[in-house]
Amino acid sequence: MSAASEKDRPGGEPAGAGGANGPVVPGDAGGGGGSGDRNGGSGRSGGSVRARTWIILGAVFVAAVVVLAIVLVPVLREPAEIPEQEAAIAPADTAAARAAGVKPTVLVFANDDGTGWVNENRQVPTADRLEDSLRATMEALCAGPVTSGPIQTIPQGTHPLAVFYDEKSAAIVLDFSRELVANHPGGTDAERATIDAILRTVALNFPQVHSCQILVNGQQVDTLAGHIRMDRPFDPRRAL
């Protein structure tokens, strides 16, 4: 009876057949589930490779920055090389020269065609006061060159009468005799040559002077011969 009942069940299938040979449901712990696990494992493995790649690249970048810092920081901290200034045109004021009572000096004259300047090295009497040294320099300039080639730009017979110096304002006043005007040949170029020879000589030998007023016989003059204004101070450095 029991055996017959089992055979007569609706569907004609033996009991338990569905458990052994029934349809596979997607997502069951069968072959499909194993495939999903493998795909997930592959994704995690790819992500790990990319992470390691970025870590390596980051380490290389940091190392490169450190190396550049080691190389460049000392260079950037090193002060820029300052070009050496040109040697002073005036000869050195040596101890031997001072002991001899003279001062190495540069006097400025025009060249033979009037297109440039000739510097003539001299030894002029030295003095403790700038005014006295400057007056001796102007006397030598007014006396003219001692070598062939340079041309005198100071009118014949001119000589300095007085020199005044104000250290606070770095200004001087040069007072020349009347021959500076009376014997001047005139002309713009000649006037400019006379004034510039004086200013250049002052600038080369007395760089601390920043202002120079030129007087004639104790008086301010408008021009030497009608062209270059002289009613205001000059900056000797601008004549260089």
Number of domains present in the structure of the chain:
2
Q: What is the mean pLDDT of residues 148-169?
A: 95
| Residue pLDDT, tens place only, 30-64 | 444 444 444 445 555 556 767 777 788 777 777 77
Regarding whether 123 and 41 lie in a shared domain, the answer is no
Q: Using a CB cutoff of 8 Å and minimum separation of 24, what contacts does 42-46 make? A: none
End residue of a domain, out of 77, 112, 138: 77
- Segment among 14-28, 56-70, 199-213 with least mean pLDDT: 14-28
With 80 as the cut, is the pLDDT of residue 164 above it?
A: yes
The rounded Cα 158 to chain-centroid distance in angstroms is 44
Instruction: Give the mean model confidence (pLDDT) for residues 130-145.
Output: 96
Q: Are residues 190 and 229 in the same domain?
A: yes
Query: What was the pLDDT predicted at 200?
Result: 97
Answer yes or no: do 62 and 99 share one domain.
no
Are residue 55 and residue 165 in the same domain, yes or no? no
Final residue belonging to a domain, choices 77, 109, 139: 77
Query: 64: domain range?
Result: 29-77
* Strand, helix or coil for residue 176: strand
* CA-based nearest residue to 201, from 237, 163, 165: 237
> Do 60 and 148 share a domain, yes or no?
no
Alpha carbons 132 and 172: distance in angstroms, whole number: 12
Is the domain of 72 the same as that of 161? no
Predicted confidence at residue 70, as pLDDT, reads 65
116 and 46 co-located in one domain: no
Question: Do 72 and 126 share a domain, yes or no?
Answer: no
What pLDDT was estimated at residue 24?
41
DSSP notation for 122-163: EEEE--SSHHHHHHHHHHHHHH--SSSS-B--SPTT--EEEE
More confident residue, 229 or 82: 229
> Do 118 and 135 contact (CB within 8 A), yes or no?
no
pLDDT in tens, 104-125: 999 999 998 888 999 999 999 8
